[in-house]
Structure 1
Amino acid sequence: MQRSRQEAIDGLLPEQREALILERLRTHGRVLAAELAAELQTSEHTVRRHLRELAEQGHCKRVYGGALLISPADKPAAIRMHEAVDRKARLAVAAVSIVRPKQIILLDAGSTNVAIANALPDDADLTVVTNSPEAGARLLNRPGFDVILVGGRIARGAAGSLGATALLQIQQIRADLCFLGACAFDPDEGVAAFDAEDAELKRAMVKSSGRIAIALTSEKLMTAAPFAVAPAGAVDYLFVEAEVPAARIASLKAVCDNVMVARS
């Protein structure tokens, strides 16, 4: 005779409870201690202990009331450039729809933003300022682009220049639109990055730009990274993939004025 679901939950060992919580994190991104305690028929104190242990293992970040999954985007740029290429191309096609002639575009480093550089049409009549050598290379010798490459130190595994030189140059720019790179995005926790210098440069880009746009692959949604960049409400345009569930789209629309879905 099969055991009921509740009997199975009641009989969970601590390590099985922790594995179930990690599964919920990977499925939903954010979990709430109170909801998990009710589902697992245990105390919030026990759930918080499990979340603390998972955070110490690097799986999640503790936030008020629960935890967020750590973004999987903490990989070397060379690896990320070859991941989800078709998905990033679809996001890029949607993202470039908001670009207008004669704008100054600030293009942050990152593999999705390299796809945006590719997707910009010839004769776009744009000035593109970027800290990404790869994105700059995609625009060179194409008609309709004035390309300004931001200098500075490029750390091992990074996708673009960082440090004092890059920061000073960004602070001197007044861009119409910035395509900001994001390692993680959550409606409550906002935009985040894995590197302190990268986060500082991204904050400068936000201050130097009239409007902020982010194109995100689904695995970065409802996730966390160590260094805060900007609140979710600072993002004017958020481009997401078609597979994002309707409930998650609704939570994004509650904090961002323009959530646009990239169709396949």
Structure 2
Amino acid sequence: MLTMERKALILDRLQKEQRIVAKDLSQQLGLSEDTIRRDLRELAGEGLLQRVHGGALPASKALADLPSRRKISAEDKTAIAKAAAAMARNGQVIFLDGGTSTVAVARAISMQLHATVVTHSPDIAVALLEHPNIEIELIGGRIYKHSNVAVGAAASEGISHIRADIFFMGVTGVHPDYGLTTGDREEAAIKRAISRQSAETIVLASKEKLGAVSAYDIVGVDEIDGLIVEKSCSNDLLKPYQTRGISITRAHA
């Protein structure tokens, strides 16, 4: 079997089964495990999958550049944002993460809401400037341009002095076994710090993120309180999270 044929088969299998076990696939194809692992390394280098111990899982489409991410699942993100904004209550301290999903949440927040929004995203701060009853606390630091958020020591220091009632977290991957993940180590550390300073962590999970994995761990699924997903998500896809006691909110358009 030619290399291109093997890679096409691997990607097709990954799409259908949502995981590749290198040992099993090598036996099925009558090839060495080293050959399969080499193919997985090359496909991972192209951003087409995420290698894990023993095989591979789907890579998140949410690792694309910011303009491209704004076009992914746009309608679903709008619905998820409205569902998240509806959870906000007067008097709360709300932490809004950076990214396209959370910018949509900021835009969906009611003009009547009286609350404090803390964020490390300049985009979020700008989106909330016209809200008359929202106090904005902007966390500073070095800007990670992929998501336009502050990261690093200064951001961590600022976050450590704030206790939030609720944190709306954006991620690039949500997996029942590998947890919440993202594509940058420092961004993962900041998200983890925010979650630990928040009474409740809610993850915004449009369909391209469910079952996907990125390189850097944030927290395990047992450390979050809820997922907001689009209305069309299948019960089979959500069952592994429900069995762990995670609240699932289906967003309606």
Q: Does 1:31 align with 2:20?
A: yes
**Runs of 5+ unmatched residues, structure 1:** 1-11
* Equivalent position of 2:193 in the other structure: 204
Whether 1:175 and 2:164 are equivalent positions in the alignment is yes
| Cα deviations by residue, 1:208-263 (Å, 9 ceiling, x for unpaired) | 11110111211111111111111111111101123323211112323351122223
Give the match for residue 57 of structure 2.
Answer: 68
What CA deviation, in whole Å up to 9, does each residue of 1:178-230 have, x standing for no partner?
A: 01121111111111111121111111111111110111211111111111111
Q: Measure the CA separation in 1 of the matches of 2:231 and 2:25.
A: 29
Q: Taking structure 1 as reference, are residues 18 and 157 closer, same or farther at Cα in structure 2, changes over 3 Å only? A: closer
Deviations 1:70-111 (A, max 9, x none): 212222323323443322110111222322221110111011
Question: Is 1:251 aligned to residue 218 of structure 2?
Answer: no
Compared with structure 1, are the counterparts of its residues 240 and 44 closer, same or farther at alpha carbon in structure 2 (3 Å cutoff)? farther
User: Residue type of the partner of 2:91?
Assistant: K
User: Corresponding residue for 2:180?
Assistant: 191
**TM-score of the aligned structures, taking structure 2 as reference length:** 0.88
Structure having the higher Rg? 1
Q: Does the CA contact (< 8 Å) of 1:202 and 1:229 recur in 2? A: yes
Report the 3-state secondary structure (helix = DSSP H, G, I; strand = E; otherwise coil) of the residue aligned with 1:221. Answer: coil
CA contact (8 A) 1:28 1:222 kept: no
Give the distance between the partners of 2:118 and 2:146, measured in 1 at CA: 21
* Cα 1:27–1:125 shift into 2, 3 Å: farther
Deviation at 1:35, TM superposition (A): 6.0
- 2:5 is matched with which residue? 16
How many residues are treated as equivalent by the alignment?
Answer: 252
- AA paired with 1:84? S
Aligned partner of 2:125 in structure 1 is 136
TM-score w.r.t. structure 1 length? 0.85
- Of the candidates 106, 113, 117, which is equivalent to residue 124 of structure 1? 113
Q: 1:24 and 1:256 mapped to 2: Cα distance?
A: 30
| RMSD, matched Cα | 2.3
The letter of the residue matching 1:180 is: M
Mapped to 2, the partners of 1:252 and 1:36 lie a distance apart of 28
Whichever residue aligns with residue 175 of structure 1, its letter is: A
Unaligned residue ranges in structure 2 (runs of 5+): none
Identity across matched positions, percent: 34
1:120-168 CA distances to partner (integer Å, 9 max, x unpaired)? 1122121100111111122113132111111122233332222222111
Contact 1:29–1:221 (Cα < 8 Å) also in 2: no
User: For the Cα contact (< 8 Å) 1:33–1:44, is it kept in 2?
Assistant: no
